[in-house]
């Protein structure tokens, strides 16, 4: 006879769960799906659980504070003397940093007290109040062992100070073995949180029945599984075109150069032949390109620039002057500093930050590929190459169709400005809002009005139909209404 496990005596439930979790593989596979709160709750249920959780380093290897309520920066809570604020020493010398990083510093203080902080290798602070000073401490303070850090969509962050902290951590005279940080997610958007904030997630553990904890775990891993199945195409390797919702400050380029080979980001430098870091630097006639440029903007291009677009092969030659960025192919070492790795800076970190591993390979590896491509058992023939061409917008301005992501490289096409008439141009701007489009895209979106002969866009001239422009369609409607 099947029996509902909730009807079993409490001691048996506890013993069964304890036996299951004593298998360290089960524990380390389950823990990443839980909040800190759930884990500490479980630890508080009995001495055995407490021992198990605090003595297994993998339990806190990955820590996501993004959905922990205490980590939220809430001015009201501070004004009313909320619990959050009590973690921080309040005095008249309070700095702006103390103020905005107060909630997180309080949590880190507690984690250090429980001796958990040093186990944390993948730390997610997405959407929280995170100051540059706090990140500086995570980079420098030996109490932290964070290897992969995510600070996407954070608040109160001074980007200039953050860039300085990163450049300082990667300076040539840095101590051996530092920084421990190897990967930083900062440019992309944070993952949408499934459902609302999980209520009452404080860092102080309170006892709950193991059955309740187990039920919560089960539903969470189910959700995580559903979410991962509904994944959209992989950034960079599969999803072509624009990669970021926001503009990236030009100043970031020199930070990526300074951190090259030491800290990887969720973006890479543009490899276009007009940049100093390009494998094709010096191989393309830049003077001719500049002379042919349609606008002054496409003639002056910075030495280094963060790539914002992922492209496939050029529509003309199928490749790019600089070649592809192909997963598994080693990067060229651009630096004589042997403490720099050639893959860090070549491949972007992929979202979300890894769940079951804290290695950089896992954070960069495209889905369906192996983390160690040269593994003897990896079947190379069967696998489709995961590759892309990373470009900044300046490098594709006159040679890229925003409609279908087709583009023409510098060797195949000088640019829209080089051609005598629109007939020879691969991309032209026929609708202001559509931007530069190729002939096929223009054929599907642009029409000539059968009544007035004017041009219109099916997407952006709202109210137009397949034969007439919005103005003529509106006029005939008004005419019918009058008579």
Tell me which of 316, 323, 361, 373 binds Zn ion, using CB under 5 A. Answer: 316
d(CA 130, CA 146): 15
Question: Which among 135-143, 175-183, 215-223, 432-440 is the span making contact with Zn ion, rule CB under 5 A?
Answer: 432-440
The reply to whether 305 sits near Zn ion by the rule CB under 5 A is yes
* C-beta of 29 vs 475, nearer to Zn ion: 475
140: its two tokens: 């420098």
Pairing of strands 387-391, 435-438: unpaired
Q: In the bound complex, what is the minimum distance in angstroms from residue 6's beta carbon to Zn ion?
A: 58
The b/e string for 338-350 (b: 16+ C-beta within 10 A; e otherwise) is eebbebbbbbbbb
The b/e string for 101-134 (b: 16+ C-beta within 10 A; e otherwise) is bbbbbbbbebbeeeebbebbbbbbbbbbbbbbbb
Q: In the bound complex, what is the minimum distance in angstroms from residue 312's beta carbon to Zn ion?
A: 11
The reply to whether 317 sits near Zn ion by the rule CB under 5 A is yes
The reply to whether 157 sits near Zn ion by the rule CB under 5 A is no
Three-state SS for 129?
strand
Q: Which of 222, 218, 211, 208 is nearest to 5 (CA)?
A: 211
Element holding 71 (H helix, E strand): none
The reply to whether 412 sits near Zn ion by the rule CB under 5 A is yes
* C-beta of 81 vs 454, nearer to Zn ion: 454
* C-beta of 164 vs 405, nearer to Zn ion: 405
The reply to whether 272 sits near Zn ion by the rule CB under 5 A is yes
d(CA 121, CA 419): 54
Tell me which of 44, 224, 299, 404 binds Zn ion, using CB under 5 A. Answer: 404
Residue 352: asked if its preceding bond is cis (omega within 30°), the reply is yes
Angle formed by the axes of helices 210-229 and 10-22, to 10°? 50
Q: How far is CA 63 from CA 111, 247, 279, in A?
A: 11, 28, 38
Of residues 126 through 145, those in contact with Zn ion by CB under 5 A are none
Q: How far is CA 73 from CA 34, 87, 104, 157, 411, in A?
A: 21, 13, 9, 13, 52
The reply to whether 459 sits near Zn ion by the rule CB under 5 A is yes
Q: In the bound complex, what is the minimum distance in angstroms from residue 284's beta carbon to Zn ion?
A: 11
Tell me which of 115, 141, 330, 433 binds Zn ion, using CB under 5 A. Answer: 433
282: its two tokens: 């010096």
Q: How far is CA 383 from CA 328, 379, 433, in A?
A: 12, 7, 39
Q: Which of 218, 198, 230, 257 is nearest to 37 (CA)?
A: 198
Tell me which of 212, 286, 418, 431 binds Zn ion, using CB under 5 A. Answer: 431
Q: Say which residues have a Cβ less than 8 Å from residue 169's Cβ, sequence separation at least 6.
A: 139, 140, 178, 179, 181, 262, 263
Q: Count interface residues toward Zn ion (CB under 5 A).
A: 27
Q: In the bound complex, what is the minimum distance in angstroms from residue 308's beta carbon to Zn ion?
A: 9
Alpha-helical (H) ranges within 275-410 are 286-292, 360-364
Q: In the bound complex, what is the minimum distance in angstroms from residue 331's beta carbon to Zn ion?
A: 18
Q: In the bound complex, what is the minimum distance in angstroms from residue 457's beta carbon to Zn ion?
A: 3
d(CA 214, CA 45): 12
Q: How far is CA 76 from CA 72, 79, 84, 90, in A?
A: 11, 5, 11, 16
Tell me which of 162, 186, 235, 270 binds Zn ion, using CB under 5 A. Answer: 270
Q: In the bound complex, what is the minimum distance in angstroms from residue 325's beta carbon to Zn ion?
A: 13
Tell me which of 409, 414, 416, 436 binds Zn ion, using CB under 5 A. Answer: 409
Residue 139: Cβ-neighbour burial (10 angstroms; 0-12, 13-18, 19+): buried
* C-beta of 16 vs 412, nearer to Zn ion: 412
The reply to whether 416 sits near Zn ion by the rule CB under 5 A is no
Q: How far is CA 265 from CA 68, 349, 464, in A?
A: 25, 6, 44
- The pattern of x and - marking residues 342 through 381 that bind Zn ion according to CB under 5 A reads ----------------------------------------
Q: In the bound complex, what is the minimum distance in angstroms from residue 433's beta carbon to Zn ion?
A: 5
Of residues 384 through 403, those in contact with Zn ion by CB under 5 A are 392, 395, 401, 403
Question: Which among 206-214, 270-278, 281-289, 334-342 is the span making contact with Zn ion, rule CB under 5 A?
Answer: 270-278
Which residue is associated with the tokens 């139909």?
A: 465
The reply to whether 441 sits near Zn ion by the rule CB under 5 A is yes
Q: Which of 337, 253, 259 is nearest to 301 (CA)?
A: 253
227: its two tokens: 């979410």
Q: In the bound complex, what is the minimum distance in angstroms from residue 282's beta carbon to Zn ion?
A: 15
- The pattern of x and - marking residues 165 through 184 that bind Zn ion according to CB under 5 A reads --------------------
Q: In the bound complex, what is the minimum distance in angstroms from residue 343's beta carbon to Zn ion?
A: 21
The reply to whether 427 sits near Zn ion by the rule CB under 5 A is no
Of residues 463 through 482, those in contact with Zn ion by CB under 5 A are 469, 472
Q: In the bound complex, what is the minimum distance in angstroms from residue 184's beta carbon to Zn ion?
A: 21
Tell me which of 434, 436, 447, 464 binds Zn ion, using CB under 5 A. Answer: 434
The reply to whether 253 sits near Zn ion by the rule CB under 5 A is no
* C-beta of 211 vs 459, nearer to Zn ion: 459
Residues that bind Zn ion (CB under 5 A): 270, 272, 305, 314, 316-317, 392, 395, 401, 403-404, 409, 412, 431, 433-434, 438, 441, 449, 451-452, 454, 457, 459-460, 469, 472
């Amino acid at each position: 006879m099947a029996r509902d496990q909730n009807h079993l005596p409490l001691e048996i439930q506890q013993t069964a769960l304890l036996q299951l979790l004593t298998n360290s593989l089960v524990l380390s596979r389950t823990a990443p799906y839980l909040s800190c709160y759930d884990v500490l709750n479980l630890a508080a249920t009995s001495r055995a659980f407490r021992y198990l959780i605090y003595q297994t380093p993998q339990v806190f290897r990955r820590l996501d504070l993004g959905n922990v309520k205490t980590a939220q920066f809430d001015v009201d809570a501070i004004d009313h003397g909320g619990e959050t604020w009590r973690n921080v020493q309040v005095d008249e010398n309070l700095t702006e940093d103390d103020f905005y990083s107060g909630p997180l510093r309080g949590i880190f203080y507690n984690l250090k007290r429980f001796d958990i902080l040093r186990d944390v290798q993948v730390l997610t602070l997405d959407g929280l109040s995170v100051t540059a000073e706090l990140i500086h401490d995570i980079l420098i303070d030996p109490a932290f062992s964070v290897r992969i850090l995510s600070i996407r969509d954070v608040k109160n962050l001074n980007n200039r100070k953050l860039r300085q902290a990163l450049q300082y951590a990667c300076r040539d005279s840095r101590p051996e073995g530092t920084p421990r940080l190897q990967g930083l997610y900062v440019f992309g958007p944070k993952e949408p949180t499934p459902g609302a904030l999980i209520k009452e997630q404080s860092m102080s553990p309170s006892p709950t029945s193991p059955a309740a904890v187990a039920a919560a775990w089960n539903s969470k891993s189910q959700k995580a599984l559903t979410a991962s199945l509904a994944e959209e195409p992989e950034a960079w390797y599969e999803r072509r075109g624009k990669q970021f919702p926001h503009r990236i400050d030009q100043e970031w380029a020199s930070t990526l150069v300074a951190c090259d080979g030491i800290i990887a980001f969720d973006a890479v430098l543009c490899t276009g032949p007009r940049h100093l870091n390009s494998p094709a630097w010096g191989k393309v006639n830049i003077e001719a390109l500049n002379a042919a440029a349609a606008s002054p903007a496409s003639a002056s291009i910075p030495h280094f620039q963060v790539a914002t677009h992922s492209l496939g092969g050029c529509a003309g030659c199928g490749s790019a002057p600089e070649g592809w960025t192909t997963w598994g192919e080693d990067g060229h070492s651009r630096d004589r500093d042997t403490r720099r790795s050639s893959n860090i800076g070549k491949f972007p970190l992929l979202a979300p930050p890894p769940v079951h591993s804290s290695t950089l390979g896992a954070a960069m590896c495209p889905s369906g590929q192996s983390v160690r491509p040269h593994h003897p058992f990896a079947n190379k023939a069967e696998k489709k190459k995961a590759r892309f061409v990373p470009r900044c917008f300046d490098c594709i301005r006159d040679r890229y169709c925003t409609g279908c992501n087709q583009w023409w490289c510098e060797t195949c096409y000088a640019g829209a400005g080089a051609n005598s008439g629109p007939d020879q141009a691969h991309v032209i701007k026929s609708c202001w809002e559509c931007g530069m489009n190729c002939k096929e895209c223009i054929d599907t979106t642009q029409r000539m009005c059968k009544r007035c002969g004017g041009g219109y866009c099916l997407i952006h001239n709202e109210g137009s139909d397949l034969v007439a422009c919005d103005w003529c369609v509106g006029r005939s409607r008004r005419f019918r209404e009058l008579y």
